C-alpha cells in the first residue's frame, strides 16, 4: 500500500502521519509531499527518515492513496492529476465538498456509499464532522427539522500562524497577526471570510455539508461560528428540533451506542465535554443533554472534539481504512 501525504509539514499533515502510525495503517511505502520550498528536507515516520518530495514526483510514483491537506487551490489543481493515474484521493480542503460528483464522507455515517470509481473523496469541515456524528442516530430515529449551532473554535483551526499569535499574546510578545484583532481574552465572531449574505464561509459549510452527508434536504441548519482563545479543540452548542418527540433517556442510549461518540453528561459531578479533555483523542464528546423547554420536540446538546484529529486527520485515515478493508483501492 503506497500512501502519499500531501501537505505533510502542515498542522493537519503532521497529525495525519501521527494517526497513520497510531492506527497501524498498512503503509508499505510512504511518500511525504510538500511545497517546493520544503522539497529535500527530512521528516521521520515510524523511526524511519523520509525525504520530502514535490507534487509532480508524487504523481509519477502512482500511490494507491493520497491524503491531501494542502489547501483548496492545490487540491483543485492536483487531485485530478493523482486520480488520472489511478490514485484515490482523500481531500481535507473545501475544494470538492459540495461538488455533486464527489462523495462527502464521515465513515460512521456514509462510507457505505463509496465505490472503486470514487477517485476523489471529500473530507468534511471539522465543525461539521463532530456535529453530524452526534446527530446521526438521532436524525434516523426522530427526524431533524432544524438545527441551530453556535461554534466555539480553537485557533488551531486557522493554522500555525494563529497558534503563534495566541502564544505571543500570552507571552506579551508583539508578533505577526493571523486575525484582525487580538484573540487572547477575546472571542471573534469571524471564522473564515464573510460572504454577501452576511454569513462566513465556515457558517455556510455547517449549513450545507450536513444535508449532503445525510443525503437529505428536509432539514435546515443555521450557524454562528466564533473563534476563541483555546489552542486546540472545537466546541458547539447545538439546538435541534425534531419532527418526533423523544425521551432523554433514549437520546442518551442512542448516543452511547453511536460509534465514535462518548457521552459525558452528569451535572451532579460537573461532568461535561471540554476541549482540554478532547485534546489528542479521536472521539466526539457529547454532554449538557437537555430538553429545550421553550419549544416542543427540541433538544440542546454540547459537542466537543479535537479538530485536528476526528475533525480532519482521523476522519481521513478512517476513510482510507474503509477503502482498504473493502478492497476499493
| pTM of full prediction above 0.75 | yes
| Phi, psi torsion values for 19, nearest 5 degrees | -70, -40
CB-based contact 209:141 (threshold 8 Å): no
- Summarize pLDDT for 255-270 with one digit per residue, the tens: 999 999 999 999 999 9
Q: How far apart are CA 325 and CA 329, in angstroms?
A: 9
Both 80 and 11 in one domain: the answer is: yes
Cell of 45: 515516520
Mean pLDDT of the chain: 97
CATH number for the domain harbouring residue 33: 3.40.50.720
Both 217 and 119 in one domain: the answer is: no
Residue count (the chain): 329
Both 281 and 137 in one domain: the answer is: yes
Report H helices in 111-159: 126-142
| Domain range for 292 | 127-307
- Summarize pLDDT for 290-299 with one digit per residue, the tens: 999 999 999 9
Q: Mean pLDDT, to the nearest integer, of 117-138?
A: 98
- Examine the pLDDT at 37 and tell me if it is beyond 90: no
- For the annotated catalytic residues, the residue numbers are 126, 234
- Tally of domains in the chain: 2
- Examine the pLDDT at 187 and tell me if it is beyond 90: yes
Both 190 and 252 in one domain: the answer is: yes
Both 179 and 303 in one domain: the answer is: yes
DSSP 113: G
Q: How far apart are CA 102 and CA 122, in angstroms?
A: 7
Both 104 and 217 in one domain: the answer is: no
Q: How far apart are CA 150 and CA 282, in angstroms?
A: 22
| Phi, psi torsion values for 251, nearest 5 degrees | -60, -45
Burial of 98 (0-12, 13-18, 19+ CB in 10 A): middle
Both 163 and 300 in one domain: the answer is: yes
CB-based contact 131:238 (threshold 8 Å): yes
Both 118 and 197 in one domain: the answer is: no
Cell of 165: 499569535
Both 258 and 316 in one domain: the answer is: no
- Summarize pLDDT for 189-223 with one digit per residue, the tens: 999 999 999 999 999 999 999 999 999 999 999 99
CB-based contact 274:228 (threshold 8 Å): no
Both 316 and 265 in one domain: the answer is: no
Both 159 and 288 in one domain: the answer is: yes
The packing angle between helices 126-142 and 201-214, to 10°, is 40
DSSP 123: P
Q: How confident is the model at residue 147, as a pLDDT?
A: 98
Both 202 and 80 in one domain: the answer is: no
Q: How far apart are CA 34 and CA 252, in angstroms?
A: 43
Amino acid at each position: 500500500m503506497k500512501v502519499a501525504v500531501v501537505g505533510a509539514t502542515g498542522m493537519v499533515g503532521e497529525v495525519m502521519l501521527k494517526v497513520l502510525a497510531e492506527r497501524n495503517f498498512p503503509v508499505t511505502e510512504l511518500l511525504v509531499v510538500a511545497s517546493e520550498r520544503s522539497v529535500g528536507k527530512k521528516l521521520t515516520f515510524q523511526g524511519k527518515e523520509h525525504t520530502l518530495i514535490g507534487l509532480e514526483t508524487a504523481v509519477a510514483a502512482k500511490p494507491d492513496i493520497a491524503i491531501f491537506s494542502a489547501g483548496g487551490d492545490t487540491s483543485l489543481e492536483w487531485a485530478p492529476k493523482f486520480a488520472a493515474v489511478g490514485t484515490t484521493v482523500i481531500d481535507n480542503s473545501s475544494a470538492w465538498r459540495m461538488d455533486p460528483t464527489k462523495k462527502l464522507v464521515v465513515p460512521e455515517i456514509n462510507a457505505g456509499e463509496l465505490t472503486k470509481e470514487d477517485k476523489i473523496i471529500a473530507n468534511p469541515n471539522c465543525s461539521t464532522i463532530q456535529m453530524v456524528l452526534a446527530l446521526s442516530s438521532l436524525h434516523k430515529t426522530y427526524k431533524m427539522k432544524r438545527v441551530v449551532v453556535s461554534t466555539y473554535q480553537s485557533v488551531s483551526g486557522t493554522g500555525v500562524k494563529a497558534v503563534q499569535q495566541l502564544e505571543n499574546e500570552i507571552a506579551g510578545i508583539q508578533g505577526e497577526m493571523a486575525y484582525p484583532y487580538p484573540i487572547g481574552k477575546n472571542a471573534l465572531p469571524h471564522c473564515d471570510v464573510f460572504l454577501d449574505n452576511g454569513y462566513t464561509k465556515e457558517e455556510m459549510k455547517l449549513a450545507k455539508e450536513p444535508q449532503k452527508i445525510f443525503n437529505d434536504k428536509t432539514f435546515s441548519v443555521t450557524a454562528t461560528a466564533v473563534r476563541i482563545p483555546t489552542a486546540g479543540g472545537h466546541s458547539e452548542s447545538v439546538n435541534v428540533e425534531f419532527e418526533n418527540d423523544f425521551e432523554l433517556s433514549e437520546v442518551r442510549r442512542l448516543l452511547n451506542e453511536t460509534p465514535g461518540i462518548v457521552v459525558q453528561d452528569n451535572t451532579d459531578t460537573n461532568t461535561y465535554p471540554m476541549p482540554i479533555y478532547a485534546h489528542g483523542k479521536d472521539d466526539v464528546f457529547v454532554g449538557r443533554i437537555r430538553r429545550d423547554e421553550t419549544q416542543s420536540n427540541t433538544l440542546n446538546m454540547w459537542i466537543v472534539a479535537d479538530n485536528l484529529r476526528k475533525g480532519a486527520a482521523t476522519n481521513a485515515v478512517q476513510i482510507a481504512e474503509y477503502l482498504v478493508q473493502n478492497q476499493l483501492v
